[in-house]
Amino acid sequence: MSLLENYIKDLNQMETAKRSKRFTRIHSIDFVKGFAITLIILAHTGEAWINQEWRFAYAMLFPWLDVFGPSLFIFLSAVGVVFSLRKKEGFIPEKTLRNSIYIRALVVIALGVVFNIATNHEVPFPLNIWGWNILMFIGFAQIICYYSAKIKRMWRVVLGITILIITFPLRQFLILFKDTNPVVAVIHYILISPAPHNPFIPYAVLAIFSTIFAEMMFEAMMIETKEAYYEVFRQYISWGLVFILLGIFFGRDLITTGGELDPTDYRFVQLIPIMNEQPYLVVEGIPRFLIRGTSANLMYSLGMALIILGVVFYFIDYKHLEFPYSSHVITMFVFFGRVSLTLFFFHYIGLFFYYHTLGVEIFFFIVLGYIGFLGMFVYLLNRDANGIGTFERLMGQMGGKKKKK
């Protein structure tokens, strides 16, 4: 190797180290991800623990708070993938970078498969292997982000809008003919699945659009000026408001019992619990933009995700708050964001402790203690056991990370 080649190699290594140091963790992203996983745990425990007398309160709050859950978490996970790609490209071989994305994606997808088998008992094995739960989609979102980041932003916008436009008529077509046409049934099984919590359509739009907004943040942090940071905040708030208004406008019509949304394809149409032997009643009188799985809801959720992340980015990155923060609450959410996958799995252990027995007046005290216990347990695993037993350690090993001496 020539002297010039050695010099260029050293420069690349120095630049890689500089980028890695600057972008090792984006605290605003970790904070919002930690907040999202906390609300996901709160939603799951609420559904499992709140008694029949108070389930109406849960049902009234859930459609409005759902925007802080899976959609926000998926958006942030996709943003993290883009940051990882942009800070490494040009310094790590393309094949190595691609394989790293695929390995991490396949690990999350495999966990999603296990989750489907353990929880989806409505569909017989092996059909219940496939299902668009949050883990399955996060895994595929990493692959979508990898390829989306390689095309021009304009074409990403066109592709995302196209998916939003065709989602509703395509899903209605699949619903109508899935029981009579085997080809349609296979397409329905792949795109929607027996567990359509976060189906490929329209949720692929989240992964596609997230690459655009993640690149905005990445470019600002490379420039590292206050003007660039404020521009990111302005763009996030502006586009967030646009998406929210579009979602409300196109989803302002009310859903009624016996309407055009099939509860088997739109699981969250079956949301309002009633106080008798039947566990659920089809939603009546709720706007479409609050029904998960519709294009209107995805636009509304994307807009909320942009505003939430924009506000947190403004205070943590634009205002240059020091880390660790003086507020222990903020520090806790940042840590929760870093171990969110482990918290997601561990919180299922206690869902049957108070099955349908708690009133709202004591539910929040118990659930906050439960979340605090989970956080402390995972913290001790990371501090005293070097992360053994956590899924983040597993992901790091599968992704090729080595323990530093």
**DSSP label at residue 66:** G
What pLDDT digit, counting tens, does each position of 344-373 carry? 888 888 888 888 888 888 888 899 899 989
All residues at 6 or more sequence positions from 358 whose CB lies less than 8 Å from its CB, including other chains: 49, 50, 51, 366
More confident residue, 285 or 322: 285
66-110 pLDDT, tens digit per residue, is: 888 788 888 888 888 888 787 777 777 878 888 888 888 898 898
Contact indicator for 81, 145 with CB cutoff of 8 Å = yes
pLDDT band at residue 158 using 50, 70 and 90 as cut-offs: very high
Please choose, from the candidates 247, 140, 270, 130, the residue with its C-alpha nearest in 3D space to the C-alpha of residue 192: 130
**Rounded to an integer, what distance in angstroms lies between the CA atom of residue 78 and that of residue 76?**
5
CA distance 392 to 129: 23
Residue 361 phi, psi (nearest 5): -65, -25
Amino acid at 389: G
User: In the structure encoding, which two tokens stand for residue 20, read together?
Assistant: 């890695």
Q: Rounded CA gap, 202 and 159, in Å?
A: 11
- For 247, residues 6+ apart whose C-beta sits below 8 A from its C-beta are 289, 296, 297, 298, 299, 300, 301, 302, 303
Structure tokens at 30: 């970790």
* Angular region, 195: left φ>0, alpha ψ -120 to 50, beta rest: beta
Q: What are phi and psi of 374, to 5 degrees?
A: -60, -45
Q: pLDDT digits over 295-344, tens only? A: 888 899 999 999 999 988 888 777 765 555 456 777 888 888 888 888 88
3-21 confidence digits (pLDDT tens): 444 433 443 444 444 444 4
CB 244 within 8 A of CB 251: no
* 3-state SS, residue 255: strand
DSSP code at position 315: I
Strands 254-255 and 281-282: unpaired
